[in-house]
Structure formats: structure tokens, C-alpha cells
Structure 1
Amino acid sequence: MFDWLGWKKGWPLWRSYRLNVHIKEDVEQIFEGIAETRRQLLMDWADEQWDHLDRLLQQVQSHWPQDVLQGSQSLSKLSMWFKGSYARAKDCTEIFMMNEQNEVVFSTYAKHIGKVYSNTEEGFEPGIRYARADIKGRKCLYGPYSDPLTLEIGARSSSFHDDVTLMFVAPIVHEGRYVGALCSRIPNDVLGDLIQRESGHIYPDSGDNYIFMAESTIRPHLLPGTALSRSRFEDRTFTHGENLKDGVTTEWGTVSVKEHTELELLFTDPSTGKLHPGVENTIQHGSNLFVAFPGYSDYRHIPVIGKGITFQLPHCPDRWGMMCEGDLEEVYQVRNIGWRQFKLHSLWIMLSAILGAVLVYVLSGNGWSAGAIAAFNLICGFFAASQLQRRQYRRVHEDMRRISRFIRINAEGKGDLTQRLDTSTFAQDETGELAKWINNMIDSLEAIMLKVQLATVDVMDNQIQMRTSTETTQGTTERVNRKLSFMIQGIRTQLEDLDQAKIAADHMRHTLHQLEASATAQIQVAQQEVERIGDKMVQISGAVSDTNRTILSFIDTMQDIYRALAVINEISAQTNLLALNASIEAAHVGEHGRGFAIVAGEIRKLAELSRSSTEDIHHILSKISTAANTASQSIREGDQVLTEGTTLVQAASQLLQSATAEDAERTQVVDEVVMLMENIAAISHQNRSTSAEVETEMRELLHDMLQVQHSSRDVEVITLFLQQVVGQFQLTHPQTNTGISES
């Protein structure tokens, strides 16, 4: 009856089981829910890690050629991408890249760079061989395995940490063949955190969820049943009993681990040395559910019950198993309200029967009467208690079970939110109030989930539009990039022509400088001669002007002489008249006047002679005046000629100065042309630099567009995930009636 437990251990457990056998179906559903939820949690987590690595892989393959793997390119972009991926992957402690020679060429942990993985059977090498077995490579989730570097890098998201490692490997393909790999390092304790969920343990004193090897492909030496995750009983943080670090004591020895559960512990029954029945049946049949008495012996030789399943994570070549267990004692130690009340009533019934018998015996002294009274009280009391149990406590118990079952449907993240508790079947007491508030809570939860569902549909629609827009923008950007490439090529050709023109302009400027120097020297000599001639012309002009002024002064003197001759002519005329008068008077006088007549005659002769001389002088002066006027006219003409000559000399001097200035201007023009060409060349070089920057920016824009597409895909994945999460719940369509009662 008690099977392998024996009477001493089996009786209390059998009694607990029989008292709660009615909850066996509920216990089965509980363990089914725990196992399926944990399995889905692991699958979703693995998909998330692959999504992070795939996004980084797309960035690397879309922009970075194979020579990145040889370390010959600038790694700034690569560093930025790796940091972004590392920030998103919260459980990852390192992301690194290997080339075809298995050399780490880049890593978020700098000390790892340069490490070369050889072809051995230890550590990470089998995973590398599996990943590159195909010419294009294949993804591989390798592990768990021990890696000292994981311990050296340290923990990130888990409070527990050791050297056990999971490695996600994604091959880098170039021209259709494997050229390297991206790898993501995750401490294996993250798996323990995922499946344990201490705050969510239904059986906190005993429940343990652990992963074991069911079938190993890469490492055949790993036996089925080998632990692959941290046990809940490994660490001293578990205080409800013995732990594996200090040792779990059994009648067949102590079960313990030196460093960690993973890869050390084989889940065998200490009494037989074989795999304990839960693990063995799970490996053989793919799943195992056993919740009845007496349970089965686990690796601690403790009677446990639970659910075992096998599964295969994405791109993991090995098949794993997972046990979700609880101690039989804890699972069935529940005592319902009716049983507790029945025990209490039984105590009072027995006490009442004894007290009644004692009272009757004291009063009557008749033992048979006292016994009869005691028996009557017992019979009536137990009959009343059984009726109370059947009519009241069982009803309350069933109400509580229905409420518990209804809550359990949604406790593990899945459920039918269209269902409601039929409050009419509950009594108008605390259970009825509890049922109403639960329905109210489900109404609110369903409304929230409906909003989330509608929001995911809107997000998906906007996501599709954004993806379409980004694809269109990417096409436009690529066309603009091609046009810019053509423009940049034209600019480069133009720069070459400008360089040649600049060389020719420099040569022309040098030649013009030489010609300018020679012409300037000759012009300076000519200008000096012209200036000297001009000085002489000025001197001649001054002398001529002085002569002209002297002649004019002489002419003025001749006018004075003319006036003096006129006076002399007048005096001669008067003298001649006086002499004539004197002769006439002398004639009148006669002899006495003869002498006077002679004198008068002589005077008249002198007057005639004076008039004749005056005429001669006047005639001479006329000639002199004519000659002076002619000389003055000639002098004026010569002065005009000198003036014109001076003007010509000045014009020649100005012309020479202008020629010198024009040579300077020509030189300046040439300099300006050369400077302009140099400026054009400088601007063109700047344009070349700018165009190169534009080209780089366009490439970055293309890369950003790819990132937008990647982000768009990420949003789409997240939206799909939200839809999957919401899809786990059955929801009432907005147009339908929500008044559905629990069946």
C-alpha cells in the first residue's frame, strides 16, 4: 500500500493524499500550467536573444565587407553597433566577432580580442565546429559549458553567477560562404532565474524547476539526466531545508555539488543509482505527469510529484528536459475548511458528551444512564456536524474551489477572459462578494487587454506603413546616392582640369612678371627722357616767354618813340612855320632883317631836316614795329608750339605712367585670375571633401535607413509578441455580449 515509502513515512502522506484526493485534478492542471509556462518562457527568451544577434548580424553584413574580419577597417561604426546590441541584450555579458581562423577580432570585452580557438574538444570549440560544418555556416545555441572567461567578466542580470555559459553563435556569410561568426555570451544562471521565479512558486518550501539533458548531439559524453540549470536547492539562500552546497542527507549517502548544479549533478535516485522515475519517464516518453500517492523518489530520495517535459530551443541541436516538481507532503498538506471545522466540532461534541455523562452520573448515580446520554450526545452531535459539513462547509469549500480554479486559469499568463463566475450560484456571504469582485477585476483586465489588442493592431498598421515608407525612402536615397556618386566623379574630373589650369596660370603669371619687369625698366628710361625733354621744353618756353615779353616791352617803347617823333614833327612844323614867318617878317624889315632872315632860313632848313629825319625814323620804326610784331607773332606761335609740345610731353609721360599702371593692372588681373583659380581649386577641394562627406553621410543615411528597417522589424516582432501575449487570453469581441458564466 505504501510502496517504496514504507509504513512509517507512507502513512502520513497517504492520509494527507486521501484527505485531498478531490484536488488531484486541480494539482494536475497546476503542474501542467507551470511546465508549459516555463517552456514557453524559455522559447520566447531564446527567440529574443536570436533577434538581438540577428539585428547586429544584418548591420555587419549590410555595411561591413569581409576585410573587417581582418581588422583593416575603422571600427568606430562596429563599436557603436556592438554597444547598441549589448545595451539591448540585458542578459548578455559579452558580444564578440570571430574571423574564419576562429580569431576574436572584436569584442565588447577588450581582453578577449586576439583569442584564437583551436580545434579541441574542450570549452567552446565543439560549438564552433558545429556552426561552421556547413559551407554557409549555421546558427548554434551551444552549452551549457564551463568557461572561465564568463566568471572573469562577471554577472550582469542575475544575482547568481559562476562559469557555466550559454553561447549563441550566428555565422557571417560573405559571397555565399562562411567567413566568421557573431557570438553572444550569456551566463547559464539566467536560465535558472527564468524557470525558478521565486516569487511565483506555488510550493515555496519544496517546489523546484530544473533542466536536464535529454539527448545530446554535439557532446555525446553528456549523459541523459545531467543537470543543465541551477537547482533551487543549490544555494544557501534557500532556508527551508538542506541545500546541495552543504549536502542533502539520505539513507544512501549525501547528495552534494562542489561548485554548481550544472554539469556536476546527475538526477539519479540514491537508492538505486539509476535516473529517478520522473526524469527517466520524461526522457523516454517526452513528457511525464504524476501527482498521485506515493509519488516518486527524486535525486534527494524525497517523494515528489510533478510534470516533466522535453523541448528543443531554437537552433539548439540538443534536446533538453525540464522537471517542475513539488514535495508530495507540501502539495497535499492542504486541509480544507470543512475538515478543520469538523475536527473542531468533533472535539466539542466529544467534550459535550463526556460532560453530559458526568453530570447525569453525578445526579443519578446510574452509569447506564450516563453512558446512554453520552452515546446520544455523540450520535446527535456527529449527525448535526455531518449535516453542517454537507450543507454548509462543503458548499463554502466548493465555492472556494471554484474561485481558486477560476483564478488559477489566468495565474500563469493564459486564460479565458470571456468567462465569469456565476454569482447567482454563490451564497450572499463573503464568497459571493469575492466572486463579484473577481468578476469586476476580470472585466477591468479584459478591457485593458482589449485596448492593448486594438493598440497592437494600430501599431502593426503604422508599422507596415512605416516599413513601406522606409523602403520607398531607401530606394530614393539609393538613387540620390548614385546621382551623388556621378556628381562626385564629375567634381573629381573638374578638379583635375582645374589643377592643370592652375599650373598653366602659374606659368603665365611667371612669364608676365618677367615681361612686366623688362617693360617697366624700358618705360622708366623713356619716362626719364621724356621728363628731361619736358624740363627743357619748359625752360625754352620760359625763355621764349621772356623774349616775347621783352619784344612787347620794346614795342611799347616804340610807341613812346612814335609819340616823341610826333612831338618832334609838331615842333618841326611849328619851327618851320616860325621860320617862314620870320622870313616874311625879315623881308618886311628889309636889310635889317636879312640876318634874321638867314637865321630863319637856317632854322627852316633844320626844321625840314628834323622833319625829314623824323620821317626816316618813323619809317625805320614802322619797319621795326612790323618786324617786332612779326617776331611777337612768331614767338606766340612758338610759345603755342612749346605749349603743345609740353602738353605732348605730359601726355607722353602720362601715357608711360598709364602703361606702367596698365602693366601693374594686367599683372594684378593675372594675379587675380590665378587667385580666383586657386580659390576655385580650394573651393573645389573643399567641395570634394564636402562631397566625400556627403557620400559618407549618404552611406550613413542608407545605413540609418537599414537601421530604421531593422527597428521597424523589431517593432513588428514586439507587436507580434504583444499580440501573442494578448492572444493567449480569450477576449470578448467588442460587439458581443460578455455575460458568459463559468461552465
Structure 2
Amino acid sequence: MMFDWLGWRKGLPLWRSYRLNAHIKEDVEQIFEGIAETRRQLMMDWADEQWNHLDRLLQQIQSVQLQDVLQGSEQRSKLDAWFQSSYIRAVDSTELFMLNEQNQVVFSTYKKHIGQIYEDYEALIGPGLKYSRADRHGKKCLYGPYSDPLTLDIGPRSSAFHDDVTLLFISPILQEGRYVGSLCSRVPGDVLGDLIQRESGHIYPDSGDNYLFMAESILRPHLQPGTALSRSRFEDRTFTHGENLKDGVTTEWGIVSVKEHTELELMFTDPSTGELHPGVANTIQNGSNLFVAFPGYSDYRHISVIGKGITFQLPHCPDRWGMMCEGDLEEVYRIRSIGWRQFKQHSLFTLLSGAAGAALVYAFTGSGWSAAAMGAFNVLFGFFTALQLHRSQYQRVHEDLRRISRFIRINAEGRGDLTQRLDTSAFAQDESGELAKWINNMIDSLEGIMLKVQLATVDVMDNQYQMRTSTETTQGTTERVNYKLGSMIQAIRTQLEDLDQAKVAADHMRITLQQLETSASEQIGVAQQEVERIGDKMTQISGAVSDTNRTILSFMDTMKEIYRALAVIDEISAQTNLLALNATIEAARVGEHGQGFSVVAGEIRKLAELSRSSTENIHQILDRISTAAGAASQLITEGDQVLAEGTTLVQAASQLLQNATAEEPERTQVVDQVVMLMENIAAISHQNRATSAEVEAEMIELIRDMLQVQHSSHNVEAITVFLQQLVGQFHLNHPAKNAVI
């Protein structure tokens, strides 16, 4: 049958429109191919962006012990700061929350959610958590869309519409290779509808609809293929011409409607058959479907539509989704060319001219044959003139406009080839030629801006690499200094042990001297051995103190290296800030097209300020460390002097013992002095140990600050990569190498 399932009453007008515009069928195919691919890539990039936000937060969480963070108030405030910072960046997320091993919410940006336990693996987010924990190391999972009343309670953030349909990004938290919990990001499902509909960019505003459906569900097998996953624009009265799904779309086989929302409620079936309509069915079966010819296919409203269907998987989503980009056949082929409209008007004037000429001849001659001949001549001449005019003028104008329209369409979807230009010599020197020149001028300006942004991103990336290298070098130096501090503290501990042994030896010598009253000769020999032992210990202690002093001096030299590395970071931060300022100026020159780059430049400038602030904090910490190290060196020098005095006294005691003629009180006094010296040395060593502990604490704080600088550096790198991806969507060359079409 010629009109197939439409019938002749509905089919004849559509067939006529299609036949009048059959020459644009290839253009229509390219339009729907471009819409589908652009929307698919838009969703892929969007999903990658959400994962990047979650990954940056995950790196910060994994840098500390999770239990310590949750128990300590100071650490918990740090966790809150991390979550809030990530929440500000992830503008589509309405909640960021964290689960422990028992699937209990232990932290959330929505405080009412804290404490909830997801015990049942079949309830709400259970299948997503089960999939994420199937591997012993855990794996990411994009779960949904699914219905969650909590999403409705939290409310919208960036979406124009809002209901309980939810997407959940789940990322496992690993510490020491073991799963300890999950980090989750909640995104309302209506964000997807806003993402793919882009109302201001609809080519077919009266009927064009881009919607998602389930093609194959792995996590929820009960979800049938063809189930709606995004809001249809026919759900809302604002963008619907005629009936909508909320009020009900009337067909000969009943009313198609939704109670709450399109997602998970509507199946894309043909009301006349009850089966999935051909566009969705063929897309699921073949993975892709393009149909733009008459008579189209019947959709869920039993209206003739045409379009493109594709299937795809978002990053870390085990389910396979489908997307339809459709338009009503009537609207797509509603267009009437300039040549056709002019030909109809000329034909009407030709018929009127023929009739008027025939009437005039008949009035003057009274001859019907003469009047008929004149009328026929006028009509034939008029149609001949119209045909020649159509070939020489209307068709040329029509082809010029088609070339311009096709050229603009190349760049309309945001992934254009800016190396191409219109061949202005192929256009007449009229309005179409002027339009072609101005379009080329606009593309020149846009390409120039893209090239400048591209060069700016390369420059920022180079500076970012230098910053990262400097921070890594500084971190390595800091770790070495920390290691030296640990060695110094260990040496001090060894000194204290030696001092304790020396004190024990001195006490033992005192007892021995008391026994000298009865056995002087024997005790003098023993005392002399003990004094020699003390002398050896004093020599060992003196050597250890000298080693400690040298370690501190080496540490202070290393501090100077750190100051030089920080100077490099300061210079890089200033360069990054200058580059961000230049990018902002360039974006301002572009106007509306540069607003996205202006936001990115602002973020780079903020990160540069954060790097500068971090380096200033590190400078202050280094100053405190340097002061503490100087004090420690001074104390060790004093201890060395005390050791020298102690050695002199030990030598004197040995001499007194050798003479063996001194009185017992004198020998006792010498031993008491030695013991006192040991106690003084022990006190100084304890003080040195306390000072070293303070220095070690400052070094730990410095390492943390260096990690913060590294995080900031990674943020700058992520933004720069994103900017490069935006610019990379366009094909760019030197202006002299532009292609002409």
C-alpha cells in the first residue's frame, strides 16, 4: 500500500511534503546523525566529569586513615572541608556521601542522611553496591536511574525539573589494598533530560524529542528493554504543541499518559500493536537505526516520526542504554524552498495574465478562437519565462543558501572543522555573497580565539609540569630531611641510654669507694677501671653529640634547598596567574562564546592563589623549623662543652685514684661531680630530644602542605586537560592553510 500504516488521509499530505523535499533527504540524515552523536558524546564527557570530581575527593580521603578521620573532631572538620569543596565543583550533584564496610552512611553533605544503613542488597542502591563490591578490590559503578524518595526530599540543584529519579556514582574506598567503604555522588535523573534536550538548540522545536531508554539491564533484569530513562519534552506543557503526556495523548487505541514522570514509567510502544515501536525496537536489535524517509514509523503517540537511534554505555555503567533523536515527519519536511514558493507565485500571475489577455482580445475582436490563442500564448510564455527564471535565478539562490546552511551545520553541534571556509567566488555579488564573506570572517575570528586558547593551554600545561616537578623534588627533599631527623632522634635516644649506663656506673663507683675504707688497694684498682669505663662512655657520648650537631647542620643546608624550590613554585604560580588573566581577557573579547573559558580561567587563577598561599605557609613553617634547628644546635654545642668538662674531671679522678693518697671525702666529692655532670648531660639530651620532636612535627606538617600543593597542582592539570578537550573538539590549522568549500 502506498501510504502504508498511515492511510491515505494522513499519508497523502505527508507523502506530498516528502516528495517536494526529497532532495534534502541526505541533509536530514546528516542532521540526525550529528544530533545523536553530539548528544552521545555530551553524555560521555559529562559522566567523565562526574567521575573526575569523585576521583579528586577520593584521593584526599585515601591520604588519611578513615577511622582516624571519622573519630577525631579536627580530622572530621578536614573531611567536611574536602566534601564541601568537591560539592561546589560538582554542580549537578545534590549530595556527596560516604558508606563504611557495613553500608552505613558515615558522612554526607546532607546531614539527615547520616546513619542510614543499606542492609538489603535488593533495596534502592543494593544492586549497585553489590556490583561495586563483587571484586575484592572493588570497582566503580554508575547505578540507575532508579527511584529514591530522598532525592525528592533533598530537592533540585541545577536541573529545571525535579522528581525522585536518581543516578548514583559509586566509587570504592581502598586503604592498604583493602575495601573499607564507598564514596557516592547523587545526581537527579532530570539532569540527563536537560543535558540531551537543550531546548534552545532544537532544530525541530515543535516535535523534536531526544530521550533515553533501557536497551539491556544487567543490574536490574526486571527493567524491560524500551523503558524510559529520561524525561520526554512532551511530558511538560511548556514545550508541547497540543497534547502532552501529563494530560494524556489521545490515539485511536487509547490515551497514552504518565502519572508522575516519564522515567521508569513509560514504555515506548506503538499503541496500535502494543509492541515496542519500530525506532526503539530496531535500535535495540541493531545497535543503531537511521530512518528519515516516508512514511517514517509509528512512535508511542502513533504519530509518524523519523530520526536516529543509537545504543551506548556510559563510563563504569554495566547497563546498555539507548537514545532516540526524533522529529515528526510533517515538521521535518514542512520546509518549502524559495524556488518553489516563487514558482507558485509566478504561475498564479501567469494564469491571471493569460486570462486577462484572452478577455481583452475577446472584448476587442469578439473572436473566441483569437482570445483562446492569446490566452494560451500568454500562459505558455509565462511558464517558459518562469522556468528560465527558476533555472537562472531561483535555483542559484537556493543552492547558495543550501551551501551556507550546510556549512553552518558543520559547526552548529560544537565539533566543527574551523579549517574550512566558504568559496566566496562561487557566490553572486549580492546578499548571499556578503553573507558568505561575513561567515568566513566569523570563522576566522573564532579560529583565532581557539588557537590562542590552545597555545595558552599548552603554556599552562608546561608551567604545570614544572610546578609538579618542583613539588615532587621538594617533597623528596622533605622526606630526606624527615629521615635525617629520625636518625638524629634515634642517636639522641642512644645517647640517653649511654648516659643511663654512665649513671649506673657512677653509682656503682660510689658504692665501691665506700668499700675502699676496708680494702683500699683492691678498691682503688676497681675504681680506676670504673673511671676508665666512664671515660670511654664520655668519649662515645662526645662523638655522638658531634654527629648530631653535624646532622642538624646538614639539615639546615637542606632547608636552604627547600627555600630555593619554593622560590621556583612562587614563580610558577605567578606565571599561572598571569596566564589565567590573559585567558580571561581573551574570553572577554569573544563575549558570549568565551564565557566557558572565562570560568575555567577563573578557576586556574584561584588555584594559582591557593598555590601561592600554600608556599607562604610552607615558608612560615620552614622559618619555625630553622629557628628550632638553630636552638637544637646551640644546645648540643653547650652539651659538647659540658662533656669536655666531664672528660677533664674523669681524667682528674683517675689521677687521684692513681695517687691513692687522697682522703676518702675527696674521692667521694669527685664521684658526685661526675654524677652531677651525667645528670646535666642527660637533661640537655632530653631537651634536645624534645626540640627534635618539635622539628619532626613541623616536618610532618610541611609534608602535608606539600601534599596539598600537589593536590592543587593536580586540580590545575585537570582543568587544563578539560580546556584542551574543549578546544580539541575543533579542527584547527594556521589561517593560511584553511580549506575552501
TM exceeding 0.5 = yes
Say whether the 8 Å CA contact 2:482–2:696 is kept in structure 1. Answer: no
2: CA distance, partners of 1:243 / 1:77: 49
> CA-to-partner distance for each residue in 1:6-49, whole Å, 9 max, x for gaps?
11111111111111111111111111110100000000000000
Query: Could you tell me the percent identity over the aligned residues?
Result: 75
- 1:740 corresponds to which residue? 739
> CA-to-partner distance for each residue in 1:625-675, whole Å, 9 max, x for gaps?
xxxxxxxxxxxxxxxxxxxxxxxxxxxxxxxxxxxxxxxxxxxxxxxx9xx
Q: Pairwise mapping of residues 519-530 of structure 1 onto structure 2 (< 5 A)? A: none
> CA-to-partner distance for each residue in 1:412-457, whole Å, 9 max, x for gaps?
1122222111111111110011111111111111211221222222
Say whether the 8 Å CA contact 2:485–2:692 is kept in structure 1. Answer: no
- 2:169 corresponds to which residue? 168
2: CA distance, partners of 1:229 / 1:262: 5
1:707 paired with 2:708, answer no
1:149 paired with 2:153, answer no
2: CA distance, partners of 1:685 / 1:479: 19
Of 701, 720, 738, 1:697 maps to 701
Q: Pairwise mapping of residues 224-623 of structure 1 onto structure 2 (< 5 A)? A: 224-485=225-486
Offset, 1:117: 0.3
> CA-to-partner distance for each residue in 1:508-528, whole Å, 9 max, x for gaps?
xxxxxxxxxxxxxxxxxxxxx
2: CA distance, partners of 1:680 / 1:310: 75
Structure 2 residues without counterparts, runs of 5 or longer: 501-676
1: CA distance, partners of 2:240 / 2:416: 33
Which residue type is aligned with residue 414 of structure 2?
Answer: G
2: CA distance, partners of 1:357 / 1:492: 125
Alpha carbons of structure 1 residues 137 and 371: separation in structure 2 relative to 1, 3 Å: same
> CA-to-partner distance for each residue in 1:34-66, whole Å, 9 max, x for gaps?
010000000000000000111111111122345
2: CA distance, partners of 1:207 / 1:183: 34
Tell me the TM-score normalised to structure 2 length: 0.72
Offset, 1:174: 2.1
Which residue type is aligned with residue 35 of structure 2?
Answer: I
Which residue type is aligned with residue 707 of structure 1?
Answer: H
Say whether the 8 Å CA contact 2:121–2:130 is kept in structure 1. Answer: no
Say which SS state the counterpart of residue 237 (structure 2) adopts.
coil
- 1:46 corresponds to which residue? 47
2: CA distance, partners of 1:694 / 1:33: 58
1: CA distance, partners of 2:307 / 2:352: 42
- 2:658 corresponds to which residue? none
Offset, 1:383: 0.9
Say whether the 8 Å CA contact 1:70–1:99 is kept in structure 2. Answer: no
Offset, 1:371: 1.6
Say whether the 8 Å CA contact 1:732–1:738 is kept in structure 2. Answer: yes
- 1:550 corresponds to which residue? none
Offset, 1:726: 2.5
- 1:115 corresponds to which residue? 116
Offset, 1:720: 3.0
1:210 paired with 2:211, answer yes
2: CA distance, partners of 1:333 / 1:495: 95
1:182 paired with 2:163, answer no
> CA-to-partner distance for each residue in 1:292-338, whole Å, 9 max, x for gaps?
11111111111111111111000000010101111111111001111
Say whether the 8 Å CA contact 1:234–1:243 is kept in structure 2. Answer: yes
Offset, 1:73: 7.9
1: CA distance, partners of 2:39 / 2:273: 30
Alpha carbons of structure 1 residues 261 and 497: separation in structure 2 relative to 1, 3 Å: farther
Which residue type is aligned with residue 466 of structure 1?
Answer: M
2: CA distance, partners of 1:395 / 1:88: 52
Alpha carbons of structure 1 residues 54 and 739: separation in structure 2 relative to 1, 3 Å: closer
2: CA distance, partners of 1:496 / 1:148: 65
- 2:592 corresponds to which residue? none
- 1:82 corresponds to which residue? 83
2: CA distance, partners of 1:278 / 1:85: 40
1: CA distance, partners of 2:495 / 2:155: 58
Say whether the 8 Å CA contact 1:71–1:105 is kept in structure 2. Answer: no
Say which SS state the counterpart of residue 206 (structure 2) adopts.
coil
Moved more, 62-71 or 245-254: 62-71
Aligned length: 564
Which residue type is aligned with residue 698 of structure 1?
Answer: L
- 2:659 corresponds to which residue? none
2: CA distance, partners of 1:200 / 1:493: 76
Offset, 1:481: 3.5
Say whether the 8 Å CA contact 1:212–1:229 is kept in structure 2. Answer: yes
Say whether the 8 Å CA contact 2:485–2:696 is kept in structure 1. Answer: no
2: CA distance, partners of 1:702 / 1:721: 24
Say which SS state the counterpart of residue 237 (structure 1) adopts.
helix
2: CA distance, partners of 1:64 / 1:415: 48
> CA-to-partner distance for each residue in 1:160-183, whole Å, 9 max, x for gaps?
111100000000112222111100
2: CA distance, partners of 1:306 / 1:452: 36
Alpha carbons of structure 1 residues 133 and 438: separation in structure 2 relative to 1, 3 Å: same
Say whether the 8 Å CA contact 2:492–2:685 is kept in structure 1. Answer: no
| Structure number with larger C-alpha Rg | 1
Which residue type is aligned with residue 469 of structure 2?
Answer: T
Say which SS state the counterpart of residue 239 (structure 2) adopts.
coil
Say which SS state the counterpart of residue 97 (structure 1) adopts.
strand
Which residue type is aligned with residue 380 of structure 2?
Answer: I
Say whether the 8 Å CA contact 1:245–1:257 is kept in structure 2. Answer: yes
Which residue type is aligned with residue 701 of structure 1?
Answer: D
Say whether the 8 Å CA contact 2:18–2:333 is kept in structure 1. Answer: yes
- 1:101 corresponds to which residue? 102
Offset, 1:353: 1.3
Offset, 1:718: 3.2
Say whether the 8 Å CA contact 2:478–2:699 is kept in structure 1. Answer: no
1: CA distance, partners of 2:725 / 2:476: 32
1: CA distance, partners of 2:227 / 2:161: 20
Offset, 1:733: 3.2
1: CA distance, partners of 2:16 / 2:494: 97
- 1:221 corresponds to which residue? 222
Alpha carbons of structure 1 residues 489 and 206: separation in structure 2 relative to 1, 3 Å: farther
Tell me the TM-score normalised to structure 1 length: 0.72
Alpha carbons of structure 1 residues 380 and 270: separation in structure 2 relative to 1, 3 Å: same
2: CA distance, partners of 1:9 / 1:495: 101
1: CA distance, partners of 2:498 / 2:107: 43
1: CA distance, partners of 2:256 / 2:71: 50
Which residue type is aligned with residue 301 of structure 1?
Answer: H
Offset, 1:700: 2.7
2: CA distance, partners of 1:490 / 1:114: 48
- 1:64 corresponds to which residue? 65
Say whether the 8 Å CA contact 2:464–2:713 is kept in structure 1. Answer: no
Offset, 1:143: 0.2
Offset, 1:691: 4.7
2: CA distance, partners of 1:477 / 1:195: 49
1: CA distance, partners of 2:194 / 2:690: 58
Alpha carbons of structure 1 residues 486 and 186: separation in structure 2 relative to 1, 3 Å: farther
> CA-to-partner distance for each residue in 1:241-282, whole Å, 9 max, x for gaps?
211111111111111111111100111111111111111111
Say which SS state the counterpart of residue 12 (structure 1) adopts.
helix
Alpha carbons of structure 1 residues 114 and 345: separation in structure 2 relative to 1, 3 Å: same
Offset, 1:460: 2.0
- 2:136 corresponds to which residue? 135
2: CA distance, partners of 1:493 / 1:196: 72
Offset, 1:489: 7.1
Which residue type is aligned with residue 710 of structure 1?
Answer: H
Say whether the 8 Å CA contact 1:66–1:174 is kept in structure 2. Answer: no
2: CA distance, partners of 1:410 / 1:353: 48
1:5 paired with 2:6, answer yes
1: CA distance, partners of 2:236 / 2:693: 62
Say whether the 8 Å CA contact 1:227–1:261 is kept in structure 2. Answer: yes
2: CA distance, partners of 1:143 / 1:484: 52
Say whether the 8 Å CA contact 1:495–1:684 is kept in structure 2. Answer: no
- 1:724 corresponds to which residue? 725
Say whether the 8 Å CA contact 2:418–2:447 is kept in structure 1. Answer: yes
